[in-house]
Chains A and B, each alone.
Chain A
Amino acid sequence: MLFNSFEFIAFFTIIALIYYLLPKSLQWIWLLIGSIFFYMYSQLALIIIPLSIIIITYLCGYYIEKSAVEKRKKYIYLAGIIANISFLLLLKYFNFFSLTLTSIFNSVNTAFFKSAEQTNHPFLLNLAVPLGISYITFQAMGYLIEVYRGTHPAEKNFGHFITYLLFFPKIVAGPVERAHHFLPQIKTGKSFDYDTIVLGLRLMLWGFFKKLVIADRLELYNSSVLDNYSHHNSITLAFTAVLCAIQLYADFSGYTDIALGLAKVLGFDLTPNFNRPFFSKSITEFWRKWHISLSKWFLDYVYTGVTISLRDWGKWSPIFALNITFILLGLWHGPNWTFVIFGMLQGLALTLEFLTRKSRKKLREKLPVAVNTLVGVFITFGYFCFSLIFFRANSVKQALTIIGKIFQASKGSIFIGSVSTMFYAIIGVTILFITEYFQENHPKFLLINNRHRIVRHATYVTLILLIILFGVFNESQFIYFKF
């Protein structure tokens, strides 16, 4: 059930209406029923997998806290973490590793034993990947780490715990919600609050605008170029790389706004995932503003852990930790080398920024602020667009071919495709960037949150009519749903 479908709108309306009619003590049960229905509507039988993960994590958390012996605590904790990783590896990454190992084995075989005919075939599993598996396991592991560290108590109410991990607005593509932020919210009943609901609906409206008007419109152009990338020239491919970055942002931040809005209507606060990342002046700043809940998870549970355990390495400790963290973050997106390289490129940029931080600071002091900002934003955005070629490509070979064609600087004019598609996309992108520019630089200038009702209503109506007139209504999936 996609957020941008009629089924979902009907489902959510029923959920929200009954939710506020119920006594506060029963509200979470209704949310749990709704979340299970939402999951089973898409993947009926596969609910067994998230439920298994939840049961294992709940029991581990419970016994970690209960156990008085430190060693035993540790074993239970490790068992919980291994169980979660095993689910993820088996369901999402098994075929990737099997293919990689077989390919290495065959290459060695051919190189050293000259037996090219005797190639080995990989052992592959034909398993369906459960919806939101990466998000569920990461939240579950985060919970176990917090319980083990003693920074969060183990949840005693199993119903609350399932609701935390299956909560339907965030189950498919996050945010990666922390237990200490979410679980207390389940425990308090919610009253119907007009202002909170309106805030949620505003977020949803803006999210739908980003998804339907910008992301899905840009997808029409981007896929038409990338499906035939070998026939396009360098300027078209470079332009498409930029549009792919904007599309991904509009799609994912649009999804996040809708998810946050849905939760807000039900009285819940979810962690924001984006903070105008394209205004970042460095890759370091960028990753503080892009997919915040996931990068924070990796920062807290991977980067910090590796840095501390390798503190004897001096300045190489954070560098190593950075690179490991971003390779894993890349791989988190899916079982493909393209994602690994995407992560490596982020790690590389962050390493360079770390090593040159002093010289860059000196340089910045000599340049006017405006120049610093412009150059920083331009380089950061350009580098992200470049790395995203790997993110978007189906294979490393395809990504390298596209990059090769971009740097060949082949002649010819830019491919526009359908003029009207480009026209509508430009309208959407312009509105997005103007809005974000004002949010970044003139936060007091408000339209959708303006204190005058006329301005607010005019903005809602304009946004709705823009969605109706320029939106793409083909119920396409959100990009991050596949991760």
Chain B
Amino acid sequence: MKSNLIKAVKSLAIFILILFIADRAIGYFIEKLYFKQKTGDLYQTTYAIKQAKQKILIFGASRAMHQYVPDILEQKLHKSVYNLGRDGRNMIYHYTVFSQVLTYSHPDLIIIDVLPNEYSWKTRKEGEDGMISALLPYIDYPEVKADIGQIRRSDIILSGIFKTYAYNSNLAQIFGYNFGVLTASKNKKGYEPLYGTKLTVADLLAPGLINMPEMNEEARNYFKAFLNKAKENNIKVCVVVSPVLPVIGSKNCISDMRRITEGYGFKFYDFSKTGAFADNSLYYDQFHLNDKGATDFTGDLADTLLAK
């Protein structure tokens, strides 16, 4: 028993040492590559966390990233603009990123793109997973750490033990953007255009009604918290539902978001049913405008902002 125990302790110690060294070495290497990126999804977050000092900031998921052209807004509104949109993220992510931006910057205006069914996350977990996987590399920032800790304490523990854990599920993108396998636009201030269209005949014949799960109260609370944070910091917010081809379920969601937004004294614009964007040639797919559509839409949005 005693010799067995000594053997076990010795083996365990050697194993932990090897694991620790391997994890740290690989972790530092990946970290270097991660922060070397100058384009792509991950860089969008790095930029937002560290240096988004423009006067107008755009928040949102893929429909923000691919549909708002900062150059057009800058031209018309005469203020610096940056698009902080990132694919597949929702309000949990936007809220934390916004909190972090406020630690070093004070924008004049926030434009936030919301889905017509913004509250209808399939599950709260999906939003949390998206936020955590995007923000773990920035765990050293107190705002980020506090928000992640509130959602899932185990992630804080794991990233404390394993340096590599912060880059969980991001390796393909880190290598892809560093070694030229993946490419993204440069100098577009966060805007990532989509060119042409991949709409199929079936999409055009029957855009249909996309049914989404019912309202999620937690998602609604995050939306309110975002607006509340802006209000507390005297920052104007403009909530926008950008154009979309299919009819996405739940009118209640849009009217509720409008009510909440206006309750805070902010502007709410719904472009989802604007006739000007019923033209299929402006769409890359059912949910995203292509570059031409994005240019037209951003121009319209800038005019609307100027008019009001």
A192 with B22: CB separation less than 8 A: no
Determine whether A460 belongs to the interface, using a CB cutoff of 8 Å to chain B.
Answer: yes
Interface residues of A in 166-212 (CB under 8 A from B): 191-194, 197-198
Which one of A412, A418, A423, A457 lies within 8 Å of B15 (CB-CB)? A457
Per-position 1/0 for B1-43, Cβ under 8 A of A: 1001101100100110011001100100000000000000000
| Cα(A418)–Cα(B173), bound, Å | 11
CB distance A465 to B23 under 8 Å?
yes
Shortest Cβ distance from B10 into A: residue: A194
| B167 contacts the other chain (CB 8 A) | yes
Q: Judge whether A343 is part of the interface by a CB distance below 8 angstroms.
A: no
B168 partner residues in chain A, CB cutoff 8 A: 468-471, 473
Q: A479 at interface (Cβ–Cβ under 8 A)?
A: no
> In the complex, what's the smallest C-beta–C-beta distance from A306 to chain B, in angstroms?
44
Known: A192-B5, A194-B4, A469-B164. A461 touches B19 (CB 8 A): yes
A472 CB-CB contact with B under 8 Å: yes
Task: Give a binary string over A417-443; 1 marks a CB under 8 Å from any B CB, 0 the rest.
Answer: 011100110000000000000000000
* C-alpha gap A475/B155 in the complex (Å): 11
Contacts of A464 in B (CB 8 A): 19
Q: Taking the complex as formed, is A158 at the interface, i.e. its CB lies under 8 A from any CB of chain B?
A: no
Answer yes or no: A356 CB below 8 A from chain B CBs: no
Residues of the A chain whose Cβ atoms lie less than 8 Å from the Cβ of B169: 420, 424, 469-470, 472
Encoded as 1 (CB less than 8 Å from any A CB) or 0, chain B from 229 to 258 comes to 000000000000000000000000000000
Residue contact B165 to A191, C-beta cutoff 8 Å: no
Contact call A457/B4, Cβ cutoff below 8 A? no
Task: Report Cα–Cα, A420/B182, bound state, in Å.
Answer: 11
> B172 near A: Cβ within 8 Å?
yes
Contact A6 B154 (CB under 8 A): yes
Tell me the residues in window 445-482 of chain A with beta carbons closer than 8 Å to chain B beta carbons: 457, 460-461, 464-465, 468-475
Is A468 a contact partner of B164 (Cβ separation < 8 A)?
yes
> Would you give the shortest CB distance from B129 to chain A, in whole angstroms?
5
Residues of A within 8 A of B167 (CB): 469
Enumerate chain A residues within 8 angstroms of B14, measured Cβ to Cβ.
457
Q: Are A192's CB and B1's CB within 8 A?
A: yes
Contact status of A193 and B4, CB under 8 A, knowing A420-B173, A461-B19: yes
Q: What CA separation (Å) do A473 and B129 show in the bound complex? A: 9
CA distance A193 to B168 in the complex (A): 35
Q: Does B125 contact A (CB under 8 A)?
A: yes
> Contact at B157–A6, with CB atoms within 8 Å?
yes
Q: Does B158 interact with chain A (Cβ within 8 Å)?
A: yes
Shortest distance from the beta carbon of A464 to any chain B beta carbon, whole Å:
6
A472 CB → nearest B CB, Å: 7
Bound CA–CA A254/B20 (angstroms): 25
Q: Residues of B contacting A468 with CB < 8 Å?
A: 23, 158, 162, 164-165, 168
Contact B155 A473 (CB under 8 A): yes
Chain B residues closer than 8 Å to A412, beta-carbon distance: 200
Q: A473 CA to B162 CA in the complex, in Å?
A: 14
Are A474 and B19 within 8 A (Cβ)? no
- Interchain CB contact under 8 A, A420 and B19: no
Interface size on B, residues (CB 8 A): 32
What sequence of 0s and 1s flags, for each residue 178-208 of chain B, a beta carbon within 8 Å of any chain A beta carbon?
0000000000000000000000100000000
Residues of A within 8 A of B200 (CB): 412
Chain A residues near B173: list those with CB within 8 A: 420
Count chain A residues whose beta carbon lies closer than 8 angstroms to a beta carbon of B.
Answer: 28
If over half of B's interface residues share one DSSP class (helix, strand or loop), that class is named, otherwise mixed; here it is helix
Question: Looking at B11, B155, B169, which has the most chain A CB atoms within 10 Å of its CB?
Answer: B169
Q: Within 8 Å CB of A473, what residues of B? A: 154-155, 158, 168
Find the A residue at minimum CB distance from B126.
A474
Known: A461-B18, A468-B23, A474-B125. A424 touches B164 (CB 8 A): no
A5 and B153 alpha carbons, distance in the complex (Å): 12
Question: B276 at the A/B interface (Cβ < 8 Å)?
Answer: no
Residues of chain B contacted by A420 (CB below 8 angstroms): 169-170, 172-173
Question: Complex formed: what's the CA distance from A472 to B167 in Å?
Answer: 12
Contact partner, B26, options A194, A424, A465, A472, Cβ 8 Å: A465
**One of A191, A198, A419, A469 near B1 (C-beta < 8 A):** A191
| B225 in contact (CB, < 8 A) | no
Residue with the greatest number of chain A CB neighbours at <10 A, chosen from B14, B23, B172: B172
Is B146 on the interface with A (CB-CB < 8 A)? no
Distance of A191 Cα from B5 Cα, bound (Å): 11
**A194 near B8 (CB under 8 angstroms)?**
yes
Chain B residue with the shortest CB-CB distance to A474: B129
Assess whether B278 is interfacial by the CB under 8 Å rule: no
B155 nearest CB neighbor, chain A only: A473
In the complex, whether B305 has a CB less than 8 A from a CB of chain A is no
B77 within 8 A of A: no
CA distance A469 to B200 in the complex (A): 36
Contacts of B19 in A (CB 8 A): 460-461, 464
List residues of chain B with CB within 8 A of the CB of A227. Answer: 122
Residue numbers in B under 8 Å from A457 (CB-CB): 14-15, 18
**Interface set, chain A 235-268, CB cutoff 8 A to B:** none
Compute how far the CA of A268 lies from the CA of B216 in the bound complex, rounded to whole angstroms.
45
Q: Are A460 and B15 in contact (CB under 8 A)?
A: yes
Return the chain B residue nearest A223 by Cβ: B122
How many angstroms between the C-alpha atoms of A6 and B170 in the bound complex? 23
In the complex, which residues 134-172 of chain A have their Cβ closer than 8 Å to any Cβ of chain B? none
For the complex formed, measure the closest distance between the CB of B88 and the CB atoms of chain A, giving whole angstroms. 8
| Given known contacts A424-B169, A470-B169, A461 and B8 CB-to-CB distance under 8 angstroms | no
Residues of B close to A192: CB separation below 8 A: 1, 4-5, 8
| Subset of 13 A-B contacts with CB under 8 Å | A191-B1, A193-B4, A194-B4, A420-B169, A420-B170, A424-B169, A460-B19, A464-B19, A465-B23, A470-B171, A471-B168, A473-B168, A474-B129
Smallest CB-CB A-B distances: 5 pairs: A420-B172, A194-B4, A423-B172, A6-B154, A194-B8
